[in-house]
Amino acid sequence: MAFGPAASRHTGMGRQSALLLAVVLLFSGAMVARLAWLQLLHGAENRARADENRIRLLPRNPIRGRLLDRHGQVLATSRLTYNLYIQPREVGDAQWPALRDRLATVVGLPAAQLEARRRSGANAEGFRIALASGLKSEQVLRFREQAAGLQGAEVDVDILRSYPHGRLAAHVLGYTSGIMEEEYTQLQPKGYRIQDRVGRSGVEKQFEGHLRGEWGGQQVEVNAAGQVQRIIGEKSAKAGQDLRLTLDLALQQAAERALDGVRKGAIVALDPQTGAIRALASRPTFDPNVFSPAPSSSQWSSLNSPDAPLLNRAFQGFPPASTFKIVTSVAGLESGRYTADSKVMTMNSFCYAGLCYGDHGAHGAIGFPFALAVSSNTFYYQVGLKVGPDELFKAARRMGYGQVTGIELVEEETPGLLGDQAWKQEVLGEGWTPVDTITSAIGQGALQVTPIQMARLYAAVANGGWLVTPHLVERPTKRTWIGLKPATLQVLRDGLRQVVTIGTAKLLNDPNLPPVAGKTGTGEDPPRPDHAWFGGYAPADKPTLVIIAFGENSGGYGGTVAAPMVKALMNTWFRGSLPGQAPQS
């Protein structure tokens, strides 16, 4: 009997050992499974999370390339600024009020302003929020002295675009602005960051890839307090490339001053041999510096006013008025219906099909050169009727009208309008009439020509019949031979020279200038005031510069409003080029 109880107790201990072993195995298996789940299945993810807490990337902005004029003068550059940010992932709603009040004291900004900026900058992605921009050096120093107690906030350097000449060439240079959240998803694969700024118009936009550069930064290890322990790696930011434009700073400044006399208008100056743009200005204009960092509400209101200061009027179409008489001359002479010696009787009033059309004077029987010089309407009414609309619009297209010029700013240029028979039938549902031919022959009616297109036309006359491609960045010259007869070119050159010597632009017959050739135009735009045009080139025998000046609804005449603008630019360009003149400074 003594053996029985001992055997019974021994059996119970065996069951306890098995149970304990099962429990140990169960917990061990759970630990192994958990470790496998953490390290094998989600190891990469967890390591990344750990690195996010331990390793920080301190990005460094790339310096955007400068924009230079043809002599290397700076037109656009970059400047450094300091901004205050918070990291929303590190600062929750509970921690924010204390941090906000502390920041308000340290950097000297109203707490309400910081609150408003945090709310307006909130984003689902958790990107850092800019609380203030353009901090002064003393604000930056105070922040850095007390940074240990401002966890979740940071002061970082930003690089903003700077235009040292303000409004000068604003429509050519364009402007930059920050990336919007809705476009970030498209730009991120191209290496952009949410802090980036991109070109929005002009050269800044068209040459964005050339100018922007590449981000760099430091990868650092930090401790639990966020203090840097060591630098793990570093990649230098790659600056964008400078871009030299064909603009001439002195001539551009002269164009800006000349346009200050009109409320709306444009000036284009180019090399007639190559198409290189030497000056291009538009009014009204704007200061691209207001976009760095961003326009105020009042500035936005001004930029979106009915006068449309952001619109480049050098690329918009307007009635060409009497400047179009060059096209009508080409149509008459190239059609074979007229020769260089042909004469047409002019009169005070020309009547046709029961309607009469007035003129500002009768000159008897005159030829093409003198008709251009005095801008005789009755002469060109008759030429237009004799050659007909087909020849008229054929000549216009031949001279580059009705099509874009090929300048780099392709998204901003319009083709103008050649309202021929097909257009009138399609758009207005009406047939062509002699009245349409008469008005078109003198540059009125359904005709719209851009200043940049007109510059090509005058360049073609100046260079002997080549249609150049205007450009803002030096590149191999692209020219198209339009095949005008030598006699046609000579008539045009003689006529455009006589406009200055005896005709409607005698203001430019100045001994301080080389011989100038050109044509005035006064375009009707009822009930608004007239448009004023002048297109011309100099020296008349070996042209090096074409200038188009346009005043939109300026009132007055081409010879009194636009010609003085051209004279101002020519005085600048040709200063010191004539014998006895002081050299250009």
Two structure tokens written together for 411: 């998204």
pLDDT of residue 370: 98
CA dihedral (488, 494, 500, 505) in degrees, to 10, reads -30
Query: Is residue 554 a contact partner of residue 531, using CB atoms and an 8 Å limit?
Result: yes
Return the structure tokens found at 571.
């005085």
Query: Which residues touch 451 (CB under 8 Å, ≥6 apart)?
Result: 266, 267, 268, 313, 314, 315, 548, 550
Give me the pLDDT at residue 585, please.
43
Q: What is the pLDDT of residues 414-451, one digit of tens each?
A: 999 999 999 999 999 999 999 999 999 999 999 999 99
What per-residue confidence (pLDDT) applies to 190? 84
The answer to whether the CB of 170 falls within 8 A of the CB of 252 is no
Q: Which residues pair with 245 in a beta bridge?
A: 473
Q: With 0-12 CB in 10 A as exposed, 13-18 as middle and 19+ as buried, what is 581?
A: exposed
Query: What was the pLDDT predicted at 366?
Result: 98
Q: Pairing mode, if any, of strands 517-525 and 479-481? A: unpaired
- Residues of the chain short of pLDDT 50, as ranges, are 1-3, 5-9, 585
Q: Which of these, 461, 331, 338, 466, lies nearest to 396 by C-alpha position?
A: 331
Does an H or E element contain 456, and which?
A: helix 451-463
Number of C-beta neighbours around residue 78 at 10 A: 21
The confidence score (pLDDT) of residue 373 equals 97
Which DSSP string do the residues of 147-173 spell out, in sequence order?
GGG-TTEEEEEEEEEE-TTTTTTHHHH
Distance CA 399, CA 326 (A): 10
CATH numbers and ranges of domains, the chain: 56-244 (3.90.1310.10), 249-283+309-573 (3.40.710.10)
The pLDDT value given to residue 385: 98
Q: Taking the C-alpha atoms of 484, 487, 491 and 494 in order, what is their torsion angle to the nearest 10 degrees?
A: 110
Which residues is 190 bridged to in the sheet? none
**pLDDT value, residue 275:** 96
